[in-house]
Structure 1
């Protein structure tokens, strides 16, 4: 997966990320994947400035997560991401969270996001520039979910 992906997140698991079982709680997996999402989107021109200036947004309409390995306080994580499908209003993408020291896959997720007009709260087409940048980065990667 590495050759078709880009690093979109790197960070540490802190003790407050862990639950009573001693491993990172599921809410933090989702949070770290969310940070990776905004890095991925920024690379195709869906930046905070773009969203603020145009009155557009991105909403998640589907997310599937597979938890593969525990991560513990002190572990360093890296998330690698790829675009899987891009249509006029829709972007489907994946993230793979790895333990940076061992290379073990901790979790995988596949998400579908929809571009919307924040005033009408309805989906709308991506601008040509962002659409072209996204389509150019689509891979044939099978994330395994």
Structure 2
């Protein structure tokens, strides 16, 4: 989901629905993770918060939640990409009782007048006591 471009950080009103698709407000869902108030309890929570970070253009959170061994220098958020929805397709492990897990997802977007999607099976690890994105096992 890393697309290079301009760095635009949008703010969402606290009572906005969370972009991750859960039936909570942004402030009570992914906004708490973005601000550093809370940490993701599961790999899926981190996946959802990273999707929401792409929606709002929070490059700092994307960088912070990426494993240092695989994190690019520039995470890159493209202001011209409009994220249109996240669907979690499945997961393995990744609970509060695990140290690793995977989350398969589909994220829809619109860019340059064209619709697209990313389908990925992402791998997550605990690093320094927090869930972080490691890499993709496969995607389209």
Same fold (TM over 0.5): no
Question: Quick check: which one's helix share is greater?
Answer: 1
Larger Rg: 1
Higher relative contact order (CA 8 A, sep 6+): 1
For normalisation by structure 1, the TM-score amounts to: 0.29
